[in-house]
Amino acid sequence: MKTIILLLTAYLLGSIASGVWIGQFFFKKDIRQFGSGNTGTTNTFRVLGTKAGVVVLLMDILKGTLATLLPTIFHLENVNPLWFGCMAILGHTFPIFLRFKGGKAVATSAGMVLAYNPLFFFYSAVFFLIMLYLTSMVSLSSMLTAIFFTLSTIALPYVAPAILPEHNWLLTAIALAVTIFIFYRHKDNIKRIKDGTENKVPFGLNHKKK
């Protein structure tokens, strides 16, 4: 029963609609009606500005982190904490508070990794920032990082055990599932990337819009 309650709690944490609630409460805007219509961090930056975007980013990461730490906080043994992170990701993408229409799972997934292995989180974050500098596109950087992360869950125990000392096939399975989902949720972005019309951040090597 305790496990079930904590799993549901993790889902509810993931369901916290950071971008939508901050937009409605502080800016009197529903970000779903502007920009890409997405509820996540990137659209918050675009619609509400940098400060709101940073707050939403941190909140979405924290959702995944706190959910993954629930079994540690409540002394629940013999249950892999990644399952709780998965429930937060599920809540973020299918939030009960937004009629199950949520974000793309990138930041909350990162939060899960931060709780599970902070060094692996920073390793992946550095790759993301490098990709963002090279491409100036959050969407493309997110997809490339998802692939990189999934492959790293397999390779790092052999080539860099200091970062990831042993295989966790549940982590690999989750990473693969999240990667597939991220690509699915970015299908419109992929089309715009092919057309050369994808939105770009105002820095990096390719920051100018075509």
pLDDT tens profile 162-197? 999 999 999 999 999 999 999 998 999 999 999 999
Instruction: Please give the Cα distance from 51 to 53 (Å, whole number).
Output: 5
Q: How confident is the model at residue 208 (pLDDT cuts 50, 70, 90)?
A: low
Report the chain's C-alpha Rg in angstroms. 17
Torsion angle defined by CA atoms of residues 75, 76, 77 and 78, in that order, rounded to the nearest 10 degrees: -160
Segment among 66-70, 95-99, 152-156 with least mean pLDDT: 95-99
Instruction: Please give the Cα distance from 200 to 210 (Å, whole number).
Output: 10
Q: How confident is the model at residue 83 (pLDDT cuts 50, 70, 90)?
A: very high
Supply the pLDDT for residue 19.
92
Q: Is the pLDDT of residue 209 over 70?
A: no
Give the tens place of pLDDT for each residue, 123-171.
999 999 999 999 999 999 999 999 999 999 999 999 999 999 999 999 9
Instruction: Please give the Cα distance from 210 to 203 (Å, whole number).
Output: 14
pTM exceeding 0.85: yes
Supply the pLDDT for residue 152.
97
Give the tens place of pLDDT for each residue, 27-58.
999 999 998 888 888 889 989 999 999 999 99
Closest by CA position to 101, among listed 174, 179, 40: 40
Q: What share of the chain is helix, strand, coil (3-state, %, to 5)?
A: 70, 0, 30
Q: Is the pLDDT of residue 210 over 50?
A: no
Quote the tokens at residue 165. Answer: 């000392």
Quote the tokens at residue 123. Answer: 């390793």
Mean pLDDT computed over every residue of the chain: 92
In this structure, what DSSP letter does residue 135 have? H
